[in-house]
Structure 1
Amino acid sequence: MDIIASSKPLLAVLAALTGSILVALSGKKPNVRESWSAIAAVTMFGIIASMIPDVAPAPLGQGKTLVCQIFKVLPGLSVTFRADAFSMIFAVAASFLWIIAVFYSAGYMRGLHEHAQTRFNTCFALALFGAAGVAFADNLFTMYLFYEIVSVCTYPLVAHHQDEEGYEGGKKYILYLTTTAKGLVLPAMILIYVMTGTLDFAHDIHQGVFGAGANGTLVTILYVCCLLGFAKNGVMPFHNWLPSAMVAPTPVSALLHAVAVVKVGVFCTTRVMLYVFGVDTMQALNLGVPTAYFVSFTILTASVIALSKDNLKARLAYSTVSQLSYIILGVSLLTIDGIQGGLVHIANHAFSKITLFFCAGAIYVATHKKSISEMSGLGRTMPFTFAAFAIASLSMIGAPPVAGFVTKWKLLVGAMEMPAHSMGILLILLASTLLNVAYFAPVTYRAFFGRRPAGEAYEGIKEAPLSMVIPIMIAAVISVVIGIYPDFFMTFVKAVTG
């Protein structure tokens, strides 16, 4: 592996930070403020895209790792950024989705005449600043630092409405995420440094950072602390912050559930699993199979809870709790196809889930309806919105030709590659897929084929503003494109697994 010094990872992170500052300074000029958001998003994506020829493996690129050290704290402890194949999976998806989220947010916030739009846009950019820092972290210390930045910067977004419900959701959000990180990850990080003398990530997924003589019981405890401590990953029982955060405006929900927050959680979890503990150590200590069954409980339980929710955003929230654990499940299988299925779901889920939340927001702006039971017949009035919802739902279910099919296929193949327990994992994947159908299909069916409520006229209802509908359609189309042509993200995923 060629490692070269480059300032590009740092520049990508600073693009979002600079954008947040310029947005805050332009608060009295809405058009200028939102222009700065768009420019920052495009700039960040452009810098990240410029790294593809260097980082991507052949034939797409040169397979290099770009490193930029900011400063050293102690030997083996520094703030350093690195762009490798693993980081690019998250960084490319998040930076592109920020662009379309900027335009969608403008339409949503202006359409509902929301207050504190400057604070909203500033914190939105800061959240992407934190997410980019996590994506390009070269070590556990840097990753933890930016993980906490994401938590702090997204609190004002969750509590945006500044009412009792908003403050309660914000309090639960910050309490869960900071308590678990400080109570579990921070002590684990200190012990890892004491044991190994470094917090740097390994350069492949097999070796890990622990030597052959490491105490197996202690390593197992550290592993559990990291698995549960990165609570943004939504694993039960530390998942309740996620549905509680639904009190936030829909663009925030999309940010939380598709791009910055939850993806930061599963990215940190899987980065630590593969680059701190490593496949060899996990196999030696038999950590993979218990992890797979542990997160399978989240997959199935969250899906059952989603079935009971009539509020559309609440149903999508529990769907997110379930879907995030597919990523951890895939990695915990410790097979090549399983790991690939889990990692590619970081991008596949991002595009599909942001589509679903964008649709929920468009429905609310156009109709002020939140409950699925109130949406009968709306698909005939808002065909573009509900068509996009149907496409993204198919992705969540895992139906071809949408992106989620690639995930499910890889997970199924990865489960069959396991020397044992393959039947149990296969049954879990089958059951979860049936549950996906059970809670997504009725929404689309009711919208297009349901009978309109008696006495309720839909004549005045039309699609949300184009600034919302166009981002929805772009995200939905990309979900189909990366389902039919998955090679772009799979190139980086295959480089990770070697």
Structure 2
Amino acid sequence: MSLHAALPLLVLTSSLLSGLIVFFIPEARHRLRSTINLLGASLKLILVAYMLRGVLHGEEFVFRHAVLPNLDLLLVADALAMLFLTLSAVLWFLTTLYAIGYLEGSPRRSRFFGFFSLCVTATAGVAMAGNLFSFFVFYELLTLVTYPLVVHRGSEQAMRAGHLYLSYTLSGGALLLVGMLWLYGLAGQVEFTQGGVLSALGPEYGAQLQLIFLLLIAGLGVKAALVPLHGWLPQAMVAPAPVSALLHAVAVVKAGAFGILRVVYEVYGIEFAQSLSLLLPLAVAASITIIWGSLRALFQDDLKRRLAYSTVSQVSYIVLGVALFGPLGTIGGVVQLVHQGLMKITLFFCAGNYAETLGIHKISGMDGVGRRMPWTTVAFSIGAFGMIGLPPLAGFISKWYLGLGALEAQMPWVLAVLLASSLLNAAYFLPILQRAWFRPQTADWPDEQIPMRNGRETAALLLVPPLLTATATVLAGVFASSPMSPLDWAKLIAAREYLLWLP
């Protein structure tokens, strides 16, 4: 096996092996467990960086193993895969640092970090899957290894949330499987290919392909939290903050949105999907989700639940970009894959800091917290302003290109959706910032675990990750036009999907 064929496997192994080892480490050996976790995360970063450089220079990294005749396990590191894979590798490293600090002294840490690493392994597999079969394998593995993280606390509420999570995601997986098998019967093994692979089928298959598309999008839409398939997501917020951060920024919901990208662009092909009249209903579904998620967020006093409904809204920007027929909309949707991850993980890190340091879970209890935890609140403010779309932060770049894409696709009503969403984002984020920065503290903190010492507001491992991701949110916007920025990479992907050159 050549190095280029082995590298996708090594990327998977870097987190798989560390996760399996961690399961057998005694709870008291916390330093050993932390060392193995960080070694695995660091190795994955190195391997992904090497592959990223290779893909940029036209190198191919392909692993293929025949499971059955005409049914292969296929891993491919193409441009779209590397965008998602790089995001997951970077945020896994930061979330590992955060989780080590967050779970210090907690029970069942070996089990947590073991499944945590398996979750990242499955996410990497979703990113590099080269055909529908491989995607389905890792997509369902992601469901199974994430469940123990959702129910980690073991409370009655956590178990209910876990059962709801499984009922939704396994049902979505069943729909995805039916659509995949139906498509296999028509076209054989479907590999992800630029421009799609289904246009060669005759027009007599049009009705079947429309129904198959509905099954595939419904199956993926459960994890992508498209309305009305989103009910599991707010309930899953009983999980520890590192899990919430991972679920919303890079793992489960992002896997669903990423799958929709693959289906539209590389199974059907954007032009063929447009010819089958599939894109407009997808744009309407995404727009409804964007507005509905924002409206629901307005009425949540629990901070993590408000952020959860915000995710329902913000992830659908990716789906909306996919549904806009044109390269500019594609750029907006693809770059949102990264920008939403940076902004949302920042917000969940900060929410975890408030809960772990001061016992704050409710927005109504955040009065004056900005003076007690200024750096955490600065990071939260950057994430919130990014979500609103304030220039020059990362969120503004995504919305700008989605707006341009709407005009390019001659769908001006999408501009009204984007404007309404931004106003709603402001309506549910600005009151939080007003409480944190401008209201005086009116009562003792509910449960202050980490006293203020020498200007240090919380543990270093809890503070450094959100500061880094908040900085990345700023840099991704300010230097959006720089080479190798998320926007530059999104332009490369759009150019390849539309077979054109973009400035």
Q: 1:437 aligns with which of 419, 426, 432?
A: 426
Matches within 5 A, 1:186-225: 186-202=177-193, 204=194, 206-214=195-203, 215-225=205-215
Q: Does the 8 Å contact 2:290/2:313 carry over to 1? A: yes
Q: Does the 8 Å contact 1:352/1:393 carry over to 2? A: yes
Q: Report how far residue 424 of structure 1 moved.
A: 0.9
Q: Find the counterpart in structure 2 of residue 319 from structure 1.
A: 310
Deviations 1:334-386 (A, max 9, x none): 21010111011111111110000000000011110100110011101100000
Q: Does the 8 Å contact 1:209/1:275 carry over to 2? A: no
Q: 1:177 aligns with which of 169, 174, 178?
A: 169
Q: Find the counterpart in structure 2 of residue 148 from structure 1.
A: 140
Q: Distance in 2 between matches of 1:444 and 1:211?
A: 54
Q: Report how far residue 54 of structure 1 moved.
A: 1.4
Q: Find the counterpart in structure 2 of residue 166 from structure 1.
A: 158
Q: Distance in 2 between matches of 1:353 and 1:80?
A: 31
Q: Distance in 2 between matches of 1:455 and 1:149?
A: 44
Could you list the structure 1 runs, at least 4 aligned residues long, displaced by more than 6 angstroms after superposition: 455-459
Aligned residues: 483
Q: Does 1:228 align with 2:222?
A: no
Secondary structure of residue in 1 paired with 2:294? helix
Q: Distance in 1 between matches of 2:134 and 2:127?
A: 10
Secondary structure of residue in 1 paired with 2:64? strand
Q: 1:280 aligns with which of 265, 271, 277?
A: 271
Q: Does the 8 Å contact 2:190/2:197 carry over to 1? A: no
Q: Does the 8 Å contact 1:258/1:353 carry over to 2? A: yes
Q: 2:471 aligns with which of 473, 477, 493?
A: 477
Q: Find the counterpart in structure 1 of residue 11 from structure 2.
A: 12
Q: Does 1:88 align with 2:82?
A: yes
Q: Does 1:251 align with 2:242?
A: yes
5+ long unaligned stretches in structure 1: 57-61
Q: Report how far residue 283 of structure 1 moved.
A: 1.1
Q: Distance in 1 between matches of 2:64 and 2:284?
A: 38
Q: Does the 8 Å contact 1:208/1:280 carry over to 2? A: no
Q: Distance in 2 between matches of 1:460 and 1:11?
A: 43
Q: What is the one-letter code of the residue matched to 1:70?
A: H
Q: What is the one-letter code of the residue matched to 1:172?
A: L
Deviations 1:423-468 (A, max 9, x none): 2111011000100111111111110001221577999556220111
Q: 1:70 aligns with which of 61, 65, 72?
A: 65
Q: What is the one-letter code of the residue matched to 2:30?
A: P
Q: Distance in 1 between matches of 2:129 and 2:93?
A: 22
Secondary structure of residue in 2 paired with 1:310? coil
Q: Distance in 1 between matches of 2:378 and 2:308?
A: 20
Secondary structure of residue in 1 paired with 2:412? helix
Secondary structure of residue in 1 paired with 2:61? strand
Q: Does 1:370 align with 2:374?
A: no
Q: Find the counterpart in structure 2 of residue 266 from structure 1.
A: 257
Q: Find the counterpart in structure 2 of residue 427 from structure 1.
A: 416
Q: Find the counterpart in structure 2 of residue 24 from structure 1.
A: 23
Q: Distance in 2 between matches of 1:158 and 1:342?
A: 28
Q: Does 1:332 align with 2:329?
A: no
Secondary structure of residue in 1 paired with 2:9? helix
Q: Find the counterpart in structure 2 of residue 59 from structure 1.
A: none
Q: 1:418 aligns with which of 409, 423, 426?
A: 409
Secondary structure of residue in 2 paired with 1:79? strand
TM-score by length of 2: 0.93
Q: Does the 8 Å contact 2:290/2:316 carry over to 1? A: yes
Q: Does 1:497 align with 2:461?
A: no
Secondary structure of residue in 1 paired with 2:405? helix
Q: Report how far residue 13 of structure 1 moved.
A: 1.0
Q: Find the counterpart in structure 2 of residue 465 from structure 1.
A: 459
Q: What is the one-letter code of the residue matched to 1:423?
A: P
Q: Distance in 2 between matches of 1:194 and 1:453?
A: 65
Q: Find the counterpart in structure 2 of residue 342 from structure 1.
A: 333
Q: Report how far residue 67 of structure 1 moved.
A: 0.9
Q: What is the one-letter code of the residue matched to 1:187?
A: V
TM-score by length of 1: 0.94
Q: Distance in 1 between matches of 2:279 and 2:59?
A: 29
Q: Find the counterpart in structure 1 of residue 348 from structure 2.
A: 357
Q: Distance in 1 between matches of 2:303 and 2:445?
A: 20
CA spacing shift, 1:72–1:210, aligned 2, 3 Å = farther
CA spacing shift, 1:9–1:22, aligned 2, 3 Å = same
Secondary structure of residue in 1 paired with 2:63? strand
Q: Find the counterpart in structure 2 of residue 40 from structure 1.
A: 40
Q: Distance in 1 between matches of 2:290 and 2:398?
A: 14
Q: Distance in 2 between matches of 1:454 and 1:469?
A: 24
Q: 2:94 aligns with which of 91, 100, 106?
A: 100
Q: Distance in 2 between matches of 1:46 and 1:300?
A: 39
Q: Distance in 2 between matches of 1:142 and 1:296?
A: 30
Q: Find the counterpart in structure 1 of residue 119 from structure 2.
A: 127
Secondary structure of residue in 1 paired with 2:392? coil
Q: Report how far residue 216 of structure 1 moved.
A: 1.2
Q: What is the one-letter code of the residue matched to 2:34?
A: E
Q: Report how far residue 270 of structure 1 moved.
A: 1.2
Q: Report how far residue 490 of structure 1 moved.
A: 2.5
CA spacing shift, 1:304–1:69, aligned 2, 3 Å = same
Matches within 5 A, 1:288-303: 288-303=279-294
Deviations 1:21-72 (A, max 9, x none): 121122341110111111111111110110122112xxxxx13332111334
Q: What is the percentage of aligned positions where both structures have the same residue?
A: 37
5+ long unaligned stretches in structure 2: 496-503
Q: Report how far residue 187 of structure 1 moved.
A: 0.8
Deviations 1:81-131 (A, max 9, x none): 000000011100110011111111011111xx3221110000000000000
Q: Report how far residue 5 of structure 1 moved.
A: 4.9
Root mean square deviation of aligned Cα = 1.7
Q: Distance in 2 between matches of 1:221 and 1:173?
A: 25
Q: Distance in 2 between matches of 1:289 and 1:456?
A: 49
Q: Distance in 2 between matches of 1:344 and 1:429?
A: 16
Deviations 1:293-336 (A, max 9, x none): 11111100110000000100000000001111000000100210
Q: Distance in 2 between matches of 1:27 and 1:437?
A: 46
Q: Does 1:397 align with 2:392?
A: no
Q: Find the counterpart in structure 1 of residue 499 from structure 2.
A: none
